[in-house]
Homo-oligomer: A and B are copies of this chain.
Amino acid sequence: MKRGVTIGQAAEFVGVTVKAVRHYHKLGLLPEPQRDSSGYRRYGSGDLLRLVQIRTLAAAGVSLAEIGPLLDADTTRFAATLADVERQLTERIADLTARRDTLHRLADGDRTLLPDRAVALLKRMRGLGFPAEEVAATREAWVLARALVPDGFDDYLTHFEYAVSDPHLLELTRRAAEAATWEPGDPRIDELATAVADHYLADPALLSTVTGLRARNQAATRYRLIAHHGEQPTPAAARLTALFETRLRSAGVVIP
């Protein structure tokens, strides 16, 4: 009878696959045992013991790369390393937990990708009779804005809340939405742009909903992306925006 067990037996005893055992050999974690006359590996009790130790540590979350040195280290370093590994595990757990919470908020109805305040504002827009597509476009723009200019987003929301509670502005905005369907040459566009611009200029708090996202690094590019998102602008809408911005600029407002 040949002494020592085959790889299959060793693997089964310890509760691991044959492939895993060979993997440990390749990593130098487990020394290659002697071979019998036909080239089969033959494992003795010492090998099995080592294998058990490897599995115990691996099951506890120690990476294979760390196990080798660990098993050969003295008690002090052994304990220290284990403590370190434990810390890493704790970190990963915290990370995963945070992810799960994010996910939970994400999955929870409509508050997809936006904070509660923003969701509430969008709802209010719908309640005020804004067309569904415009609300949807606004939502997208906000998602973008929050990602691109996170620091300014809260302020922006605050100002937007203020703007929404202004009946005159609401009326103007509603007309601006209609305007997208007008002829680009329609003289009412000019008139409307002036009216809106004047209203903004008359109220510094309101004005900052426009300028609030400015004044950061790479501001111009980011602003353009946000401001012109979702447009495929009709010529009339484009003209309205252009006139509006021109008028603000000529009044000394800095728009990127």
Contacts and interface: CB of A to CB of B under 8 A. Distances in A.
Contacts of A56: 106, 113
A52 B144 contact: yes
B93 A100 contact: yes
B96 A218 contact: no
A116 to B, nearest CB: 15
Given A52-B143, A93-B100, A106 B60 contact: yes
A193 to B, nearest CB: 23
Interface string A6-42: 0001001111000000000000000000000000000
Interface of A: 5, 9, 12-15, 44-46, 48-49, 52-53, 55-57, 59-62, 78-79, 82-83, 85-86, 89-90, 92-93, 96-97, 99-100, 102-104, 106-107, 109, 112-113, 140, 143-144, 147-148, 218, 221-222, 225-226, 228-230
20 contacts: A9-B218, A13-B148, A13-B218, A14-B148, A44-B225, A45-B144, A52-B143, A52-B147, A59-B102, A60-B106, A61-B96, A61-B99, A61-B102, A85-B103, A86-B100, A89-B96, A89-B103, A93-B93, A93-B97, A93-B100
